[in-house]
C-alpha cells in the first residue's frame, strides 16, 4: 500500500511539474504533507533536507554569485571578452564557450547564461550576425561547465548531500573535475564543428514584423459626434470591447496615453485588437478606420521607442499577470506582445502569466526604457549597458569566493561553513547589501531540493526503492553492471524532461543505490553517474539556461532536438564509459 502511494505521488508530481499547473515548490510541500500524514516519513525526516548543510552551500553560492554580479566585475569580464572575441567568428565562439564554462564551474549556470545573453545579443546586432549562432552554444557551455566541480550545479551539491545521508563518502569539491572537463570539452568540440553547422541563421526583422503586429493594429479617427469623445481611454467603450489604445495622435502631438487621458474629437488612435471586430462596431462607435498596415515608424517617435525586455531568473514578475504586476504604472511602458517558445502572444495581454525567459515587446518613452536597464526583473536585449565596475569591491568579492574554495578543498573548514563565512564577509564588506543577498537566493529551488531529499527517504521507508531495484535487477541484471548503470543514466535523462535536474536525480539516486547494493556494486559510482547524467540532458529547451536563450535566439523547439540529441547521446556514452574508470564498479 505504501509503495503504491509513494509511486503514485511520484507520477502526480511528474505530471504537475511538466504541466506547471501549480508552482514546483507548492507541489513539493504538498507531497511532504501527504507523506507525513500517511506516516511514511516522520516530521523530522520530512524537513531534514531543509536543515542539511548542502542547502546552506547552495544559498551561500547564490549570494556570492550575486556579489560578483553586483560589483560589476562580471560585466567587466564580458566587455573584455567581447573585444577580444570580435577578431574572428570561430575565435569568438570558442572564447565565449571556454569562459562561460569556466565561470559556470563555480556559479549557477542560469545566472551565468543570463549574464551573457544581453551583451551577446547586442554584439550579434553590431557585427550583423544572427544571435542564434551564439546563444545556444552559450547555454550548452554554461550547463556542461557545471559538471566540472561539486558547486557547479545545485544538482551536484544535492546528490552529494543525499549520499552522505545514505552513509557514503561525500563528493569532493574537485573530485569530478577530470570527467567533467572531458564532458565539457566534448560539448565545445561538438558545437564548434557539427553543432555550428546545424545552428539556424535567422535574418533580422523589424520588431513590428517579427511580432506580426500588422495583423492586430490599426489607426482610427474619432468622429466629432462619437460617443467615445470625453471618455477616459482605459475605461472607454473600446477598452470594454478588449481593444487597447496604444498611441494617441492629437494635432501635431504623438503621445502615450495614461490613466488621465480622455478621448477628444478628431483624435487618431492606434488601436490593438481583432480588426474584424473593430469593423463590426465602426458605425455605432463613430470611428473611421484609417490604416490596415502598421509600420515601425507608427510606434516610434523622437521620444517614444520600442524595445525587447526579457524576464530574468530573479524577477518578481514571474507568475504574475501583466495586469497584476501593474507594468504600466511601475515602469511607464506598454506591453504590446509577449514572445514565448517561439510563439507570439498578443491577445488579452493583461491576463498573460509571465514566465522565466519571456521576452516582452514594450513601448515607452526613451528615458523610461533607459531606467529599467540593470533592473533585476528585466534584461534589455536591444543593447548592453554594463554595470559600473567597482574594482575594489569586485576584488574583495573574488577573494571571498577563492578563499571559500581553498578552505573547503584543504579541509580547513567544512564546505558549508567555508561558503557561508564567505557570503557573510561579502555582505559585511558591502560587496552586496543584505536585502539583495536575500533576493539573490532562489528559495523555490531550495524548497524543491529539500523536499525531494525527503521524498528519497520516503522511497526507502516505504520499500519503493527496494521494489524498483529488484525489478531493474531482474530486467537488466543478466547483462551486467555496466548495462544496469546505462539504464539508470538513460532513465535520469528521460526524467529530467518533465522535472528539474535536481528533482530527477534525487528520485533516481535512492533506487540506484539500492540496486547497486543488490548487485554487489559500488553504490557511490552509480550515484555519481546519475548526478552527471542529470546535467547533460540537452534534448529539449526546458533547462532554465536554454529557456533564457530560446526567444532571444529565435529558436524553434526542433532546433534543440536536432542539435541537442546527438550531443546528449555522446555525453551519455562518455559517462557510461568513464565513470567505471574513475570510480570502479
- Domain 304-380 carries which CATH code? 3.30.70.1450
Residue 60 has pLDDT above 90, yes or no: no
> Are the C-beta atoms of 183 and 532 separated by less than 8 Å?
yes
Pairing of strands 333-340, 359-365: antiparallel
With a CB cutoff of 8 Å and minimum separation 6, the contacts of 245 are 233, 234, 236, 238, 239, 257, 269, 270, 271, 272
Measured in residues, the chain has a length of: 585
131 or 180, which is more confident:
180
Strands (E) in 462-520, as ranges, are none
User: What is d(CA 149, CA 175) in angstroms, rounded to the nearest whole number?
Assistant: 7
How many other CB atoms are there within 10 angstroms of residue 371's CB atom? 14
- Residue pointed to by grid coordinates 560589476: 72
With a CB cutoff of 8 Å and minimum separation 6, the contacts of 160 are 54, 150, 170, 171, 531
505 or 306, which is more confident:
505
With a CB cutoff of 8 Å and minimum separation 6, the contacts of 217 are 246, 270, 271, 272, 294, 298
Mean pLDDT, residues 540-567 taken together: 84
Residue 526 has pLDDT above 70, yes or no: yes
What CATH number does domain 207-294 carry, 3.30.70.1450, 3.30.9.10, 3.40.50.1100, 1.10.760.10? Answer: 3.30.70.1450
Domain boundaries in the chain?
60-203+395-440, 207-294, 304-380
- Is the Cα dihedral 429, 80, 567, 552 positive or negative? positive
Confidence at 141, pLDDT banded by 50, 70, 90:
very high
Residues 181-217 have pLDDT tens digits of: 999 999 999 999 998 888 887 665 555 555 555 555 6
> Are the C-beta atoms of 436 and 66 separated by less than 8 Å?
yes
Rounded to 10 degrees, what is the CA torsion of 400, 405, 406, 411? 130
Mean pLDDT, residues 384-402 taken together: 71
How far does the chain reach from its first CA to its final CA, in angstroms?
34
User: What is d(CA 239, CA 328) in angstroms, rounded to the nearest whole number?
Assistant: 15
Strands (E) in 259-303, as ranges, are 268-272, 287-291
User: What is d(CA 4, CA 110) in angstroms, rounded to the nearest whole number?
Assistant: 36
How many other CB atoms are there within 10 angstroms of residue 414's CB atom? 15
263 or 372, which is more confident:
263
Q: Rounded to whole angstroms, what are the CA distances from 28 to 38, 46, 262, 278, 381?
A: 16, 11, 49, 46, 34
For residue 296, the 8-state DSSP code is G
How many other CB atoms are there within 10 angstroms of residue 373's CB atom? 18
User: What is d(CA 318, CA 498) in angstroms, rounded to the nearest whole number?
Assistant: 19
Residues 115-125 have pLDDT tens digits of: 788 777 777 77
pTM of the predicted model as reported, rounded to 2 decimal places? 0.78
92 or 534, which is more confident:
534
Q: Rounded to whole angstroms, what are the CA distances from 343 to 145, 257, 359, 379, 557?
A: 30, 28, 11, 19, 11
pLDDT of residue 145: 92
Three-state SS sequence of 393-458: HHHHHHHHHHHHHHHHHCCCCCHHHHHHHHHHHHHHCCCCCHHHHHHHCCHHHHHHHHHHHHHHHH
Amino acid at each position: 500500500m505504501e509503495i503504491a502511494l509513494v509511486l503514485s505521488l511520484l507520477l502526480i508530481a511528474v505530471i504537475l511539474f511538466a504541466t506547471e499547473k501549480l508552482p514546483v515548490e507548492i507541489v513539493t510541500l504538498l507531497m511532504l504533507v501527504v507523506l507525513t500524514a500517511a506516516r511514511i516519513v516522520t516530521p523530522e525526516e520530512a524537513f531534514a533536507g531543509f536543515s542539511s548543510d548542502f542547502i546552506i552551500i547552495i544559498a551561500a553560492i547564490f549570494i556570492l554569485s550575486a556579489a560578483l554580479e553586483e560589483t560589476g566585475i562580471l560585466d567587466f569580464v564580458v566587455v573584455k571578452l567581447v573585444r577580444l572575441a570580435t577578431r574572428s567568428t570561430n575565435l569568438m565562439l570558442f572564447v565565449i564557450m571556454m569562459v562561460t564554462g569556466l565561470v559556470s564551474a563555480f556559479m549557477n549556470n542560469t545566472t551565468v547564461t543570463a549574464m551573457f545573453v544581453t551583451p551577446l545579443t547586442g554584439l550579434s546586432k553590431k557585427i550583423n550576425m544572427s544571435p542564434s549562432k551564439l546563444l545556444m552554444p552559450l547555454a550548452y557551455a554554461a550547463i556542461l561547465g557545471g559538471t566540472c566541480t561539486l558547486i557547479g550545479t545545485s544538482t551536484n551539491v544535492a546528490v552529494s548531500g543525499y549520499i552522505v545521508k545514505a552513509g557514503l563518502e561525500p563528493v569532493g569539491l574537485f573530485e569530478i573535475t577530470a570527467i567533467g572537463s572531458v564532458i565539457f570539452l566534448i560539448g565545445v568540440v561538438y558545437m564548434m564543428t557539427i553543432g555550428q553547422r546545424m545552428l539556424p541563421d535567422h535574418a533580422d526583422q523589424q520588431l513590428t514584423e517579427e511580432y506580426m503586429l500588422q495583423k492586430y493594429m490599426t489607426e482610427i479617427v474619432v468622429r466629432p459626434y462619437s460617443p467615445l469623445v470625453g471618455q477616459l481611454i482605459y475605461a472607454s467603450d473600446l477598452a470594454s470591447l478588449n481593444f487597447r489604445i496604444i498611441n494617441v495622435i492629437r494635432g501635431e502631438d504623438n503621445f502615450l496615453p495614461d490613466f488621465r487621458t480622455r478621448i477628444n474629437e478628431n483624435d487618431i488612435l492606434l488601436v490593438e485588437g481583432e480588426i474584424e471586430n473593430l469593423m463590426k462596431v465602426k458605425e455605432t462607435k463613430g470611428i473611421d478606420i484609417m490604416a490596415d498596415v502598421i509600420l515601425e515608424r507608427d510606434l516610434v517617435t523622437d521620444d517614444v521607442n520600442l524595445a525587447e525586455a526579457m524576464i530574468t531568473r530573479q524577477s518578481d514578475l514571474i507568475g504574475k499577470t501583466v495586469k497584476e504586476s501593474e507594468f504600466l504604472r511601475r515602469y511607464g511602458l506598454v506591453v504590446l506582445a509577449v514572445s514565448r517558445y517561439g510563439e507570439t502572444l498578443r491577445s488579452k495581454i493583461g491576463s498573460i502569466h509571465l514566465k522565466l525567459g519571456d521576452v516582452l515587446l514594450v513601448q515607452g518613452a526613451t528615458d523610461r526604457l533607459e531606467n529599467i536597464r540593470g533592473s533585476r526583473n528585466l534584461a534589455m536585449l536591444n543593447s548592453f549597458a554594463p554595470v559600473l565596475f567597482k574594482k575594489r569591491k569586485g576584488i574583495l568579492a573574488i577573494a571571498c569566493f577563492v578563499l571559500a574554495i581553498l578552505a573547503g578543498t584543504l579541509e580547513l573548514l567544512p564546505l558549508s561553513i567555508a561558503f557561508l563565512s564567505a557570503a557573510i564577509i561579502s555582505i559585511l564588506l558591502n560587496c552586496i547589501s543584505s536585502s539583495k543577498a536575500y533576493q539573490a537566493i532562489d528559495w523555490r529551488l531550495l524548497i524543491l531540493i529539500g523536499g525531494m531529499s525527503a521524498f528519497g527517504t520516503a522511497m526507502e521507508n516505504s520499500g519503493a526503492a527496494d521494489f524498483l531495484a529488484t525489478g531493474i535487477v531482474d530486467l537488466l541484471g543478466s547483462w551486467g553492471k555496466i548495462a544496469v548503470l546505462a539504464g539508470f543514466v538513460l532513465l535520469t535523462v528521460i526524467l529530467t524532461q518533465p522535472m528539474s535536474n535536481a528533482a530527477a536525480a534525487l528520485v533516481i539516486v535512492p533506487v540506484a543505490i539500492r540496486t547497486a547494493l543488490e548487485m554487489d556494486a559500488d553504490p557511490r559510482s552509480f550515484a555519481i553517474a546519475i548526478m552527471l547524467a542529470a546535467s547533460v540532458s540537452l534534448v529539449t529547451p526546458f533547462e532554465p539556461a536554454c529557456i533564457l536563450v530560446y526567444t532571444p535566439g529565435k529558436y524553434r523547439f526542433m532546433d534543440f532536438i536536432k542539435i541537442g540529441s546527438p550531443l546528449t547521446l555522446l555525453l551519455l556514452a562518455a559517462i557510461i564509459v568513464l565513470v567505471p574508470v574513475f570510480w570502479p564498479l
